[in-house]
A and B are shown apart, each in its own frame.
Chain A
């Protein structure tokens, strides 16, 4: 078990280091950053001042190791636009993105688990096909468009929910539903497949033979086993959702980390952009590790030799 943990941790650190390098290269793609920071009306002297002030006159390798060294100690640099620590900016915005992600995940699980179980119990019936159709429809739904349609319907015409911004739990309902759509298809299919497999296994036949009630068999015996991969994938999905919330945060004007990144891209504020890429990647890696650990704890076969 310990060996498994150490191995996963080493891979996670290597992935973070690679993403760090890629994020650095990414923000240097545009050529001369000093020119874009100084703005269109800057003189040559202004550009030189900016270049000196931000340390952009140093060789790229020096800049790179400087950023890696600082990032390793938690210092992600300073934003050019907000003039504050990037870590502080991200820390302030993160609660909104995490709230949105968790809301989306909870909604997705509340929809996928019952749908998946229902489809598995009624396998190959019309109901099963309807559930699979719902999963397909969810997969094809453009999230930003669904967000706009919900805004028109529930925000404007029915007046049930606030259209944009944050402030109350109602503000997270529509964005949460939209975000949940991205995870519902995968989670529903996985629950269905897991339940079908579990229902066909020997221990379920034993439970049936013992004369247990249908509900008890389904929920206590089958679901428990089917839920292992679902819970693990749910953690991974949360990682994808945090990374993908940038579009939804923009639609609903939620000022989370995604919104911050979007603003910063427009302003050439590259310390923020590279930091957000890195933070989101690290969160994703951490979540996949949690998922692997859960799997390993619940299923000893996965721990490897």
Chain B
């Protein structure tokens, strides 16, 4: 496959410090997501109206029990932040699994079979790109009611385009290589060639696409939850936390700064890691 040779220039892949920073951020997020119930210092759903909007540790009047303060209902902000990380990671990963299944299937079929099938695949990609994602996702959740499953399925059905584009173009490159011709000659079935020869050779590109899609899905979930048509309350999605805190942001800006920074850092970390992986594999992800 196309291996980008980097002789001069900045350090790439695991030699680059930004890849390590990305990996570290993603690692911490994974730990928070998996062990959230063990890590939270308080119940993230427990309200205490006598402790509303306590400021975080760097401000005056803070309570050492609540390092990041409390929200407008007196719920511990750090606990909700950790729980929110679990929701972000869960949605990012599951949405990407759904969209990867759809996108890779049609992309590989289009690239491998060519002809009419490929025309149909290209048409599907063009149509999908013309559909306004946020609007349609909002409409589906708005009409059917908000739930995690519905959100994941909707976003999964909308975000497969980059998987399809990359799977299609890389399959086209692999299809004409000698080892595939050798497999044909050896009498392998189509399925055997697709699963045994093509998929393993395009996998590295798809892993890079997956990182981009996880980041995108997390940002979209936050935006939908912010608009009130994403994760249903009282679940502490970061987007929902920002939406709920919006009325208080002019008096205590930290209520939106904290979940926003968490969201920004997590997405940045995933993108840094993705960039590092791309340089390592020499993969192309541009549509």
Question: B-contacting residues of A (Cβ < 8 Å)?
Answer: 11, 14-15, 18-19, 22, 26-27, 29-30, 123-124, 129, 133, 136-137, 139-145, 148-149, 152, 156, 239, 242-244, 246-247, 250, 258, 261-262, 265-266, 268, 270, 273, 276-277, 280-282, 284-285, 288
Contacts and interface: CB of A to CB of B under 8 A. Distances in A.
Contacts of A281: 130-132
B216 to A, nearest CB: 9
24 contacts: A18-B123, A18-B127, A26-B140, A27-B139, A30-B143, A124-B8, A139-B271, A140-B219, A140-B267, A140-B268, A142-B222, A142-B223, A142-B263, A142-B264, A145-B242, A145-B263, A148-B242, A149-B256, A149-B257, A152-B249, A243-B135, A244-B132, A244-B133, A276-B135
Contacts of A144: 222-223, 226, 239, 242
Contacts of B215: 139-140
A204 B229 CA distance: 53
B144 interface: yes
A50 to B, nearest CB: 17
Contacts of B127: 15, 18-19
Interface core residue of A30, A142, A156 (most chain B CB under 10 Å): A142
Interface string B77-118: 000000000000000000000000000000000000000000
Contacts of B268: 136-137, 140
Interface string B134-147: 11101110111000
Given A30-B144, A140-B268, A246 B134 contact: yes
A16 B222 CA distance: 29
A246 B215 CA distance: 20
A261 B135 CA distance: 8
B28 interface: no
B226 A247 contact: yes
Given A15-B130, A26-B139, A136 B272 contact: yes
Q: Is the interface of A mostly helix, strand, loop or mixed?
A: helix
A143 B135 contact: no
A29 B143 contact: yes
Interface in B246-263: 246, 249-250, 253, 256-257, 260, 263
Given A244-B133, A277-B136, A284-B130, 14 more contacts: A15-B126, A18-B123, A30-B143, A140-B265, A141-B264, A142-B239, A145-B256, A148-B246, A148-B249, A242-B132, A261-B139, A276-B135, A281-B132, A288-B129
Nearest to A270: B143
A273 B136 CA distance: 9
